[in-house]
Structure 1
Amino acid sequence: MNKQTVLQAIIDTLKVDLDVAQRAAQTAYETATHEENIAENKYDTLGLEASYLAAGQARRVEEIRQALLAYQKLELTPFDEKRGIQIGDLVTLQTATGAEQRLFLGPDAAGLKIHLENAIITVITARAPLGQNLIGKFDADELEIIVNGGKQSFEVTRIV
């Protein structure tokens, strides 16, 4: 599995997500501005609620648009043995129990999951605790993070 394939899958997924979000935002806007949703009294809040939903959908559209732009501009480089893990690297981690986790360290869209070659790749950013700990690490390095008060340990087993 190579980084370019993962990057393209992220871009394709974000395009689909953007299309869905744009349609949802348009529907919410139409609902908020429809004449049947004009308040008839102070307890009639359907129009107000629809406008809040439309505003939230519009923010979501912009977030996805910004993430898509960041990935379209991302220039992938081979793993640098001197600098360690950086944005744009595909990393495989192994837990103490032997479970593997594949991560793509990206500029945005944290939590996005990509299904490729019978594997799930989770997008993380350097803003997340795990992402912060990965920056500068090398193959066979170990790292620990605290999640919900519990310590989790990982070993870097592969970097692409």
Structure 2
Amino acid sequence: MNKSLLLKQILAALEAIHQGAVDAAMRAYNTATDDENVAENKYDTLALEAAYLAQGQAQRVAECEADLAAFEKLELANYSDQEAVGLGSLVYLIDEAGAEKYLFLGPAAGGLKLTFFDKQIIIITPSAPLGQILLGRFVDEEIEINIGGQIKSYEIAAIY
């Protein structure tokens, strides 16, 4: 599994998300500062609401920039069967029903899903419950996690 190509794809996805956030922030700013939206009375709050939205969108842009910076600094290592899961690991899990799951332990952007060579990859972070469980684990170990009140068991089939 070529993790450097995966990292490039993650960066491309994060850049697209960042651009969407920038565009949304600009639309909110333009709405907030448009002369057409000047309050006509004390109950007319469109400009005020748009200003709050613009502030929130600007914060989202900053979060996207932080995610991008964290992944740009990420150094990838090739793992062997004797090494434990760590930051930058791509973990291949199989549950008790034989369903496969690929998780990339990244520094940020937890929950981002992407398709890489016909496999769905989900980014998790070390602070996520599953990320905490996986850190320091090895190939062939079994893990359990409570998901929605149900205990799910997985075997770590490979670490890349």
Residue 117 (structure 1) shift: 0.8
Aligned residues: 160
In 1, the alpha carbon distance for the partners of 2:39 and 2:93 equals 54
Name the residue aligned to 1:13: 13
1:88 lines up with 2:110 in the alignment? no
1:24 lines up with 2:18 in the alignment? no
Partner AA of 2:79 in structure 1: F
Any idea what SS the aligned residue of 2:158 has?
Answer: strand
C-alpha contact 2:92 2:158 (8 A) present in aligned 1: yes
Deviations 1:9-66 (A, max 9, x none): 1001111111111111011101011111121112111111111111111111111100
Name the residue aligned to 1:41: 41
Q: Which runs of 5+ in 1 are unaligned?
A: none
Residue 83 (structure 1) shift: 4.8
Name the residue aligned to 1:132: 132
Partner AA of 1:17 in structure 2: I
Partner AA of 1:96 in structure 2: E
Any idea what SS the aligned residue of 2:55 has?
Answer: helix
Runs of at least 4 residues off by over 6 Å: none
Name the residue aligned to 1:77: 77
In 2, the alpha carbon distance for the partners of 1:152 and 1:41 equals 56
C-alpha contact 2:67 2:108 (8 A) present in aligned 1: yes
Given the superposition, is the C-alpha separation of residues 97 and 82 from structure 1 closer, same or farther in structure 2, using an over 3 Å criterion?
Answer: closer
Q: Which runs of 5+ in 2 are unaligned?
A: none
1:149 lines up with 2:145 in the alignment? no
Any idea what SS the aligned residue of 1:104 has?
Answer: strand
Relative to the length of structure 2, the TM-score reads 0.95
